Structure 1
Amino acid sequence: MTSTDGSQTQPPVPVSPITDAWLVVPLYNESQVVRGVIEEARRTFPLVVAVDDGSKDDSAERAEAGGAVVVRHPLNLGQGAALQTGITYVLERTDARYLVTFDADGQHSVADAAAMVRAARDEDLAFVLGSRFLEGPSPVGRLKRLILKTAAVAASRTTGMHLTDAHNGLRVIRRDAAKQLDLRQNRMAHASEIVRQLGATGLPWREFPVHIAYTEYSKGKGQSLWNSINILVDLLFS
């Protein structure tokens, strides 16, 4: 292959599809982006279950058009409930060795998710937790960074695990660890609940550096600000 300056370059190395892991995508009113997010993810992760959590738009139809299996909640129950439904689907309907929790709004990196699955395989890890704060600068704003680090300190104290980011939605969970999850918290507190329940398994784990794309779409929804407020409320009252 020849580059624009005439030099020879190597063709890109094709990435083999990951077929021993399912993506679990909680979904609520993301019709603008979800089909593209799923189509891109399926180039690497062909197996995707999207849990439509009572969306008021056509998110479920768009996710299905993107190639996901769609499970529907008739009412909005919260992200924790959507994740538990997706986890239950993978455990009961498939023989997947891993599941990957993955957001529907395009913030997560498919390459990061694939690297985390490889780390779980290579290092025999039961779960791998994404962290925005392990390497390099993070695009997280000052207020949210403070809240997230406070949450990580609190989670570290309650679980005995050393965490730098307790509220990152990108996680790889091996089947034996997933079987021990029983999520009851439906708001932002579900993130701390997942960490507590996974830590209680005593199974091997580690954090993994990941990159979050805070897009104009997600900023327009006010997600970063509201998530910070919700995390703070749940820290105080959960």
Structure 2
Amino acid sequence: MTVTLEHTLIVMPALNEEASVADVVREVKAKLPGVSCLVVDDGSSDSTAAVAQAAGAAVLRLPLNLGVGGAMRAGFKYALDNGYECVVQVDSDGQHNPESVPLLLEQLGEADIVLGARFAGEGDYRVRGPRRWAMVVLSTVLSRICRTPLTDTTSGFKATGPRALRLFAVHYPAEYLGDTIESLVIAARAGCVIRQVPVSMRARVGGTPSHNPFKAAAYLGRAILALLFALSRPPILLPERKGAPA
């Protein structure tokens, strides 16, 4: 499958990102000519939706804060309803470099999901302490489940192809860490092929980080619980990649 930007939707979940989202939208449009950009305003209390729309993005406003998982499920449904073949999740805080999007899309010819991995040889992004321990454990277990080496299973920078798009529009999890850990388990058990490519991360332009050092230990426990919860659910079956549509 050859993936083009014209058939790709960039989905940006955003919660109170008025300081950065407009610049990210403009950068996406400048560096990825022909691509469409959807900002899912996840119940923001600031002007995120207005500045994103003014920058040229389509905006989907959620009345309540559903978290990244709920925002992305809405984005997947929007993509499916509007005829897009692929979705690339890009953070609205400026950490993801749009120049890496074509690298992810290239791999969709042989995969259903492609992760932009922060710990695969590119850049100098570092995580320490309990959160790093959790990532190591998750990567080890999920590499076995997904049958491919994965070093960054909690990355929010990822490309989703047609089969996984149909799956996620209905079954994308909204629970804490479900958008990363559980989504990979669901996809792998459904027969999706998962790969990763090395990418570099940048510093946040604005907004508030989703984690801080005081929550690192709690993150470790929650990550393990999220994995156990994902493994406890029955698998969702899809046809072979070249078979009939789901």
TM-score category (smaller protein): 0.7 to 0.9
Whether 1:52 and 2:41 are equivalent positions in the alignment is yes
Whether 1:110 and 2:124 are equivalent positions in the alignment is no
Which is worse superposed, 197-206 or 48-57? 197-206
1:180 aligns to what SS in structure 2?
helix
In structure 2, how many angstroms separate the alpha carbons of the residues matched to 1:234 and 1:47? Answer: 34
Whether 1:128 and 2:117 are equivalent positions in the alignment is no
1:179 aligns to what SS in structure 2?
helix
Whether the 8 Å CA contact 1:188–1:230 is kept in 2: the answer is: no
- What amino acid sits opposite 1:103 in the alignment? D
In structure 1, how many angstroms separate the alpha carbons of the residues matched to 2:150 and 2:80? Answer: 27
In structure 2, how many angstroms separate the alpha carbons of the residues matched to 1:22 and 1:217? Answer: 23
In structure 1, how many angstroms separate the alpha carbons of the residues matched to 2:7 and 2:218? Answer: 34
Q: How far 1:146 sits from its partner (Å)?
A: 3.0
1:69 — aligned with what? 58
2:173 aligns to what SS in structure 1?
coil
2:16 — aligned with what? 29
Which of 174, 188, 191 aligns to 2:177? It is 188
TM-score (norm 2): 0.79
Q: In structure 2, do the counterparts of structure 1 residues 74 and 119 end up closer, same or farther at CA, with 3 Å as the change threshold?
A: same
Matches within 5 A, 1:156-195: 156-181=143-168, 182-195=171-184
2:167 aligns to what SS in structure 1?
coil
Whether the 8 Å CA contact 2:122–2:199 is kept in 1: the answer is: no
Larger relative contact order, structure 1 or 2 (CA cutoff 8 Å, min sep 6): 2
- What amino acid sits opposite 2:63 in the alignment? P
Whether the 8 Å CA contact 1:188–1:231 is kept in 2: the answer is: no
Whether the 8 Å CA contact 1:21–1:98 is kept in 2: the answer is: yes
In structure 2, how many angstroms separate the alpha carbons of the residues matched to 1:60 and 1:74? Answer: 12
Please say which structure displays the higher CA radius of gyration: 1
Q: Paired residues, what number?
A: 217
In structure 2, how many angstroms separate the alpha carbons of the residues matched to 1:175 and 1:53? Answer: 24
In structure 1, how many angstroms separate the alpha carbons of the residues matched to 2:38 and 2:46? Answer: 18
1:235 — aligned with what? 223
Q: In structure 2, do the counterparts of structure 1 residues 216 and 184 end up closer, same or farther at CA, with 3 Å as the change threshold?
A: closer
Whether the 8 Å CA contact 2:42–2:64 is kept in 1: the answer is: yes
- TM-superposition CA deviations, 1:30-82 (whole Å, max 9, x none): 00010000111012153011111100101011111111111111111111000
In structure 2, how many angstroms separate the alpha carbons of the residues matched to 1:216 and 1:98? Answer: 26
In structure 2, how many angstroms separate the alpha carbons of the residues matched to 1:161 and 1:128? Answer: 11
1:3 — aligned with what? none
1:116 aligns to what SS in structure 2?
helix
- What amino acid sits opposite 2:223 in the alignment? L
- What amino acid sits opposite 2:114 in the alignment? V
Structure 2 regions of 5+ residues with no counterpart? 227-246
In structure 2, how many angstroms separate the alpha carbons of the residues matched to 1:229 and 1:105? Answer: 24
Q: In structure 2, do the counterparts of structure 1 residues 137 and 109 end up closer, same or farther at CA, with 3 Å as the change threshold?
A: closer
Q: How far 1:137 sits from its partner (Å)?
A: 5.4
TM-score (norm 1): 0.82
1:89 — aligned with what? 78
Q: How far 1:20 sits from its partner (Å)?
A: 1.6
In structure 1, how many angstroms separate the alpha carbons of the residues matched to 2:198 and 2:7? Answer: 22
Q: How far 1:185 sits from its partner (Å)?
A: 3.0
In structure 2, how many angstroms separate the alpha carbons of the residues matched to 1:18 and 1:198? Answer: 23
1:20 — aligned with what? 7
Whether the 8 Å CA contact 1:98–1:174 is kept in 2: the answer is: yes
1:19 aligns to what SS in structure 2?
helix
Q: In structure 2, do the counterparts of structure 1 residues 23 and 135 end up closer, same or farther at CA, with 3 Å as the change threshold?
A: same
